[in-house]
Structure 1
Amino acid sequence: MRQKNTCLLIDDDKDDQEIFKLALQDINQDVVCFTADDGVEGLRLLQSDQNFFPSYIFLDLNMPRMTGKDCLCEIKKDARLAGIPVVIYSTSSDPKDISDSKRLGASDYVVKQFSISSLKTILEQYFNEEKQMA
């Protein structure tokens, strides 16, 4: 069962993690955001706790040790995790990355924003408080 008001951000950039968490807290303080520094760590977190089912997984594409696409494939192969929506969160706006990600099972694709207000606008569609109450 998915845990309301939780998300997992898998991203190797600590600054991007902080900006993401700040934007998220500004739009909905009830959301708990877990972070992992790469795909290997993210999968370990998801697989080590059988009760951990975040509402969303936000996944960077370009990371060391395991790319976001490889991590996405592993998530979708795991029957327990396959139903969790995975949103690619990347600096890449390459149409091939977008189409490949969707083909591999990503539910959405978000290009990283240069302003926190733009990021908040995007995150509101996932974590809007009124939407959570419905």
Structure 2
Amino acid sequence: MGISICCMLVEDDADDRDIFSLALQGVSTDVQLVTANDGEHAIARFKEEESFLPHCIFIDLNMPRMNGQECLQEIRKIERLKNVPVIMYSTTVNPSYVAEALRHGATDFIVKPVTIEALTSSIAQIFKKLQPVFDDITASIESNSSR
């Protein structure tokens, strides 16, 4: 045992990555944050590191090169990631974007809060809701590492 939660953030803005990291530390110090600068970087990592299996993925909606919706669709094509929760993370509150993300396999959609405290609270709520899924992913990781 002893596997910590691994959370991936796909976010092109360095300041937003730092803010997310601080908020995540406020939820738990036992969470590893892995970042990708954009959707193409994230997909490349998943394809290159076939054993990489995060417990959850947060994706910014508005990014250059490959936007969040496109990244989500590519992630859902990767078999080992089909059950990994993907949370869209954006300043955009357009209901059609939310509906499209959910239709393409997003688990949830959160609006980027204006304070670190509010973001910490949002992440904590998502983690609490997803704990059974995290337990299943941890069991899968442990099973694969014992082979």
The 5 A counterparts of 1:55-134 are: 55-127=55-127
Structure having the higher Rg = 2
Aligned-CA RMSD value: 1.8
Q: Secondary structure at the match of 1:57?
A: strand
1:14-38 Cα shifts (integer Å, max 9, x gaps): 1000000011112200100000010
**TM norm structure 1:** 0.90
Q: Secondary structure at the match of 2:33?
A: strand
Q: Secondary structure at the match of 1:52?
A: coil
**Greater share of residues in helix:** 2
Q: Is the 8 A contact 1:43 1:71 kept in 2?
A: yes
Q: Secondary structure at the match of 2:23?
A: helix
Amino acid at match of 2:105: G
Which residue number corresponds to residue 20 of structure 1?
A: 20
Q: Is the 8 A contact 2:10 2:39 kept in 1?
A: yes
Q: Which segments of 5 or more consecutive residues in structure 1 lack a partner in the other structure?
A: none
Q: Is the 8 A contact 2:89 2:110 kept in 1?
A: yes
1:54-111 Cα shifts (integer Å, max 9, x gaps): 1100001111110110111111112122211100001100000000000000000000
Deviation, 1:127, is 3.6
Amino acid at match of 2:86: V
Q: Which segments of 5 or more consecutive residues in structure 2 lack a partner in the other structure?
A: 136-147
Runs of 4+ in 1 over 3 A off after TM superposition: 131-134
Q: Does 1:45 align with 2:41?
A: no
Amino acid at match of 2:72: L
Q: Secondary structure at the match of 2:55?
A: strand
**Worse overlay, 39-48 or 97-106:** 39-48
Count matched residues. Answer: 130
